[in-house]
Structure 1
Amino acid sequence: MRNLLFTACTFFLLFSCDKGKTVAKTDSDKTDSLTNEEWKPVDSATATKAWIEYATPGEMHKMLAKSDGNWSGENTMWMENGGKPMISQSEVTNKMVFDGRYQVSNHKGNFMGMPFEGMSILAYDNSKKKFVSTWIDNMGTGIMNMEGDWNPSTKSIEFKGKMTDPSRPGKDCDVREVFTFVDDNTQKMEMYGPDSKTGKEFKTMEIIFKR
Structure 2
Amino acid sequence: MAKSKFEQSLADGAHRQLQKLTGDWKGTTKTWFEKDVLADESPSEAKITAVLDNRFISLDYQGSLDGKAFEGKMIVGFDIPYQRFSTSWIDSFHMGTQIMLSSGEATATGFSVFGEYGSPEYGEQLWGWRTTLEIISEDEMILTAYNVSPEGEEAKATETVYKRNIVGRDL
TM-score interval, normalised by the smaller of the two chains: 0.7 to 0.9
CA contact (8 A) 1:80 1:195 kept: no
Structure 1 residue 161 corresponds to structure 2 residue 115 = yes
1:180 corresponds, among 122, 134, 153, to: 134
TM normalised by structure 2 equals 0.82
Q: CA RMSD in A?
A: 2.2
Q: Which has the higher strand share?
A: 2
Partner residue in 2 for 1:132 = 86
CA distance in 2, matches of 1:123, 1:72: 22
TM normalised by structure 1 equals 0.67
Gaps of 5+ in 2: 165-171
Deviation at 1:185, TM superposition (A): 0.4
Q: Which has the higher helix share?
A: 1
CA contact (8 A) 2:130 2:148 kept: no
Q: Secondary structure at the match of 2:34?
A: coil
Deviation at 1:163, TM superposition (A): 2.0
Aligned residue pairs, count:
156
Structure 1 residue 86 corresponds to structure 2 residue 40 = yes
Deviation at 1:165, TM superposition (A): 4.9
Deviation at 1:171, TM superposition (A): 4.5
Superposed counterparts of 1:1-211, under 5 Å = 53=5, 56=7, 58=9, 59-139=13-93, 140-152=96-108, 155-165=109-119, 168-169=122-123, 171-194=125-148, 200-211=153-164
Gaps of 5+ in 1: 1-51
1:121-149 deviation digits (Å, cap 9, x = unpaired): 00000111000001001121101111121
Deviation at 1:210, TM superposition (A): 0.3
Identity of paired residues, percent?
Answer: 26
Bigger Cα Rg: 1
Runs of 4+ in 1 over 4 A off after TM superposition: none
